């Protein structure tokens, strides 16, 4: 799949939506008689969609199927096969369907040496988290979330100034072969790798949390520059990754930039760090920009703990849009259902001119 020459930018912004997200139905998840609480619920995508419809920023189109290849370009085939079959295989093991939930997991160097052959040990191997269930529809929802990002990337490749992928589940915590932090397939990474066939790509991750999965996927890749503003991992999730000293490795040395910020960071310091990020991206001379958009960076989010105000958020959107790059915006976090739609619309509006 190749890219075409750029057309002048349009005055609307296309949103790509995949209704299959509802199949990852986390409203009511019961494991061994206990209710599993999750804030990453289907309503998140629906409040964003409703706000976009109300704002009339542009057409909302269905995700197109680009197949499995762009997904296994950033994930191992064995991991993708596991995600696609885990629910059925676990049900066969138990004799009754039940959400797959890891029991023992984490950062375990030994996992690199041996892969368990079967359940239940296998369900600990492909995750570093223990709060993310694999449900009957998780694979289909994650697959189509990735396809939404790829469809938005294709729109930008074909000449749109920017396009928005309303991805759910989110993706930036998913590594090449582990899920975690609500993320199963890395949507932004799939889009970035796909775009990189046509030129250098920068990823700007402004979710409250560090995108450890995206960083890991491109850590040694000089064609993709990963830049992230996020809470200091010494203070909040994902704890093990996202420190300033992580700068890339091998051929990718220097193409990873982490700008960790303290809990409660306010507008001025946040926007100053964003300036640094955008300056670095400009210096990389990318052909495309992928934005991992997390509204959990705004004050009041029930998970995020920054002090960024709504006016700081609007200013950030203007700064990012001011790069004037062909941009794919991919939805990551954001958990305040009352404000999420409005913040997403406000960010996207900066790209409609
Ligand atoms: Zn987040």
> 33: domain CATH number?
3.40.800.20
Catalytic sites, residue numbers: 173
Cβ(349)–Cβ(55) below 8 Å: yes
61 CB contacts (<8 Å, ≥6 apart)? 14, 15, 16, 17, 151
On whether residue 205 sits in a domain, the answer given is yes
Distance 334 CA to ligand 1 centre (A): 7
Domain that holds residue 173: 14-67+141-349
With respect to residue 185, please indicate whether it lies within any of the assigned structural domains.
yes
End-to-end CA distance of the chain: 29
Q: Which residue has the tokens 């930018």?
A: 9
Task: Give the Cα separation of 316 and 197 in Å (integer).
Answer: 29
221 part of a folded domain: yes
Its pTM stands at 0.95
Confidence label for 7 from pLDDT (cuts 50, 70 and 90): very low
What integer is the mean pLDDT of 41-64? 97
pLDDT, tens digit (0-9, with 9 covering 90-100), for 248-292: 999 999 999 999 999 999 999 999 999 999 999 999 999 999 999
Q: What separation in Å is there between the alpha carbon of 179 and the centre of ligand 1?
A: 14
In a domain, 82, yes or no: no
d(CA 193, CA 190): 5
Distance from residue 27's CA to the centre of ligand 1 (Å): 19
* pLDDT given at position 286: 98
Assigned domain for 213 exists: yes
pLDDT band for position 111 (cuts 50, 70, 90): low
User: For residues 45 and 246, what is the distance between their CA atoms, to the nearest angstrom?
Assistant: 32
The Å distance, Cα 238 to ligand 1 centre, comes to 9
91 domain-assigned: no
Count of domains for the chain: 1
State the pLDDT at residue 172.
Answer: 98
Q: Ligand 1 center to residue 234 CA distance, Å?
A: 15
Rounded to 5 degrees, what are φ and ψ at 166?
-85, 75
Residue 317 lies inside a defined structural domain of this protein:
yes
Beta bridge partners of 139: none
The answer to whether residue 126 sits within a structural domain is: no
The CA 122 to ligand 1 mean position distance, Å, reads 27
Distance CA 201, CA 262 (A): 28
């Amino acid at each position: 799949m190749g890219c075409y020459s750029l057309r002048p930018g349009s005055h609307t912004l296309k949103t790509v939506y995949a209704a299959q997200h509802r199949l990852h139905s986390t409203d009511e998840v019961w494991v061994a008689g206990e209710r599993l609480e999750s804030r990453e619920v289907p309503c998140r995508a629906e409040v964003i969609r409703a706000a976009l419809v109300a704002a009339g920023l542009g057409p909302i189109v269905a995700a197109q199927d680009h197949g499995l290849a762009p997904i296994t370009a950033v994930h191992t085939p064995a991991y993708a096969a596991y995600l696609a079959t885990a629910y059925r295989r676990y049900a066969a093991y138990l004799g009754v369907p039940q959400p797959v939930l890891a029991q023992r997991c984490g950062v375990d160097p030994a996992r690199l040496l041996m892969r368990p052959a079967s359940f239940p040990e296998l369900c600990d191997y492909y995750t570093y988290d223990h709060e993310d269930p694999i449900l009957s529809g998780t694979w289909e929802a994650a697959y189509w979330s990735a396809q939404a990002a790829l469809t938005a990337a294709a729109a930008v490749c074909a000449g749109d100034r920017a396009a928005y992928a309303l991805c759910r589940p989110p993706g930036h915590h998913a590594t090449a072969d582990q899920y975690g932090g609500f993320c199963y397939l890395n949507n932004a990474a799939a889009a970035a790798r796909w775009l990189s066939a046509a030129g250098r790509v920068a990823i700007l991750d402004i979710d409250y949390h560090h995108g450890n999965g995206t960083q890991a996927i491109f850590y040694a890749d000089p064609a993709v520059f990963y830049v992230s503003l996020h809470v200091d991992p010494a203070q909040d999730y994902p704890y093990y990754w996202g420190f300033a000293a992580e700068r890339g490795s091998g051929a990718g040395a220097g193409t990873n930039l982490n700008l960790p910020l303290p809990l409660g960071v306010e507008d001025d310091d946040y926007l100053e760090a964003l300036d640094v990020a955008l300056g670095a991206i400009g210096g990389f001379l990318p052909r495309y920009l992928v934005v991992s958009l997390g509204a959990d960076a705004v004050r009041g989010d029930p998970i995020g703990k920054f002090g960024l105000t709504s006016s700081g958020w609007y200013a950030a959107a203007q700064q990012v849009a001011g790069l004037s790059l062909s941009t794919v915006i991919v939805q990551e976090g954001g958990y305040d259902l009352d404000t999420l739609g409005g913040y997403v619309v406000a960010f996207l509006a900066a790209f409609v001119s």
